[in-house]
């Protein structure tokens, strides 16, 4: 249950305070050019400590490929990648050892497993998402060969919404803001919350260009369902929307339907997916992140023996997890699209015959 994907499948391991995190990426076609520098550059985009808008905690996040690549090409065998934890110093955990942190998974892990790994987020820490980004980088290399590209950016922070979606601007923004005009206001909101020992939520918007029509496996591995699974599984995500999803629920059919002309669709309310299958238009998705639960205000909570305490967390945490989270959204999206590309091969007999004859 620590694996994701069908034909392109990755399995991750590791805890925030253990020796290492990493993953095995299985199903990468042989002969793909594996550019290690590119993988590292993707990890660097997610890496903490780059600015005042992120946690001050530093992790080198240097990835090492252990297998599956020979002479800079994938061999078809599993690609194992490991990232050693350099910042897992034996710090003092007495503050949180027996106390459940509100909004965290330590409460639920304890009830599920009966084990208390008190060293921090453990397996549920967003640190694990570094492994997803490494795997996603390889998926992106594969997509690039097919002229498919995944973009993302922050469309909303603390309720401050973007009016435009400029993915090139997002690439240059330290908070991946899609709208340069509201970026400063968004930054101010983050810092205000941070200074008040609080945190803010945000929304990531994901765009995929170049996806051919026909990807997605109905009825229970639909493109939109699997994207929803992938996004909702990212730490702190609480809602996922395809195309104009939420707005659609208050629209009329005649407004929401995307009419068709010989040159393509006249609009894209559907977000590029019909009946769970890509329609050839851009795939568009919004991913809603709750505010970081790790705040430094005093809160009501209980201990592992259910005694009530008032508790104020110490340490370093992102004031807005959506920022680094958007890089994870991109990675997971790339992995889903790449998996769907592989799964789609064999959908019809003419394709099978052409492949083998």
CA–CA separation, 318 and 190 (whole Å) = 10
Burial class (CB in 10 A: 0-12, 13-18, 19+), 310: exposed
Site for a copy of itself in 180-199 (CB under 8 A): 193, 198-199
Q: Is 159 in the site for a copy of itself (CB under 8 A)?
A: yes
Q: What are the DSSP calls for 273-316, one per residue? A: EETTEE-SS-EEEEEEEPPPS---SEEEEEBTT--EEEEE--S-
Minimal distance, residue 317 CB to a copy of itself, in Å: 9
Site for a copy of itself in 13-42 (CB under 8 A): 13-15, 18-22, 24, 26-27, 29-32
CA–CA separation, 67 and 100 (whole Å) = 39
Supply 14's token pair.
Answer: 């590791």
Binding-site member from 62, 70, 184, 314 for a copy of itself (CB under 8 A): 70
Find the length of the chain: 357
Q: Are 268 and 258 in contact (CB under 8 A)?
A: yes
Minimal distance, residue 202 CB to a copy of itself, in Å: 6
Span interacting with a copy of itself, options 52-60, 177-185, 229-237, 323-331, rule CB under 8 A: 229-237
Q: Is 146 in the site for a copy of itself (CB under 8 A)?
A: yes
Q: Is 45 in the site for a copy of itself (CB under 8 A)?
A: no
Q: Are 139 and 8 in contact (CB under 8 A)?
A: yes
Q: Is 351 in the site for a copy of itself (CB under 8 A)?
A: yes
Binding-site member from 43, 130, 203, 336 for a copy of itself (CB under 8 A): 203
Q: Is 253 in the site for a copy of itself (CB under 8 A)?
A: yes
Residue indicated by tokens 């820490």: 125
Q: Is 174 in the site for a copy of itself (CB under 8 A)?
A: no
User: Closer CB to a copy of itself, residue 50 or residue 293?
Assistant: 293
Supply 146's token pair.
Answer: 């097919």
Q: Is 315 in the site for a copy of itself (CB under 8 A)?
A: no
Q: Is 163 in the site for a copy of itself (CB under 8 A)?
A: no
Task: Enumerate residues 6+ apart whose C-beta is below 8 A from 222.
Answer: 216, 273, 275, 276, 277
Site for a copy of itself in 270-289 (CB under 8 A): 270-271, 273-280, 288-289
């Amino acid at each position: 249950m620590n694996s994701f994907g069908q034909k392109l499948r990755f399995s991750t391991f590791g805890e925030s305070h253990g020796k290492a995190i990493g993953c095995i990426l299985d199903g990468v076609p042989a002969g793909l050019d594996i550019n290690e520098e590119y993988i590292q550059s993707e990890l660097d985009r997610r890496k903490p400590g780059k600015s005042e808008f992120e946690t001050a905690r530093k992790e080198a996040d240097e990835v090492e490929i252990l297998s599956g690549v020979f002479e800079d090409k994938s061999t078809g065998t599993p690609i194992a990648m490991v990232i050693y934890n350099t910042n897992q110093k034996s710090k003092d955990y007495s503050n949180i050892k027996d106390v459940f942190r509100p909004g965290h998974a330590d409460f639920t892990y304890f009830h599920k497993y009966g084990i208390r790994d008190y060293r921090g987020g453990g397996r549920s820490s967003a640190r694990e998402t570094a492994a997803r980004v490494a795997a996603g980088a390889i998926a992106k290399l594969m997509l690039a060969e097919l002229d498919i590209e995944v973009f993302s950016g922050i469309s909303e922070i603390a309720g401050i919404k973007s009016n435009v979606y400029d993915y090139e601007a997002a690439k240059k923004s330290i908070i991946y803001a899609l709208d340069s005009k509201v970026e400063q206001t968004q930054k101010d909101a983050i810092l205000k919350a941070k200074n008040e020992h609080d945190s803010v939520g945000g929304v990531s918007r994901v765009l995929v260009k170049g996806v051919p029509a026909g990807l997605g496996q109905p009825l229970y591995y639909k493109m939109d369902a699997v994207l929803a699974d992938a996004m909702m599984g990212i730490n702190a995500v609480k809602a996922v929307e395809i195309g104009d999803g939420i707005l659609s629920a208050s629209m009329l059919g005649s407004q929401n339907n995307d009419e068709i002309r010989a040159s393509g669709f006249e609009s894209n309310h559907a977000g590029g997916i019909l009946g769970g299958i890509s329609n050839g238009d851009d795939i568009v998705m919004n991913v809603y992140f709750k505010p970081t639960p790790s705040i430094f205000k005093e809160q009501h909570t209980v201990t592992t023996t259910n005694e009530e305490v008032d508790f104020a967390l110490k340490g370093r945490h992102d004031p807005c997890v959506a920022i680094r989270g958007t890089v994870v959204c991109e990675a997971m999206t790339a992995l889903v699209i790449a998996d769907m590309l592989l799964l789609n091969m064999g959908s019809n007999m003419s394709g099978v015959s052409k492949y083998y004859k």
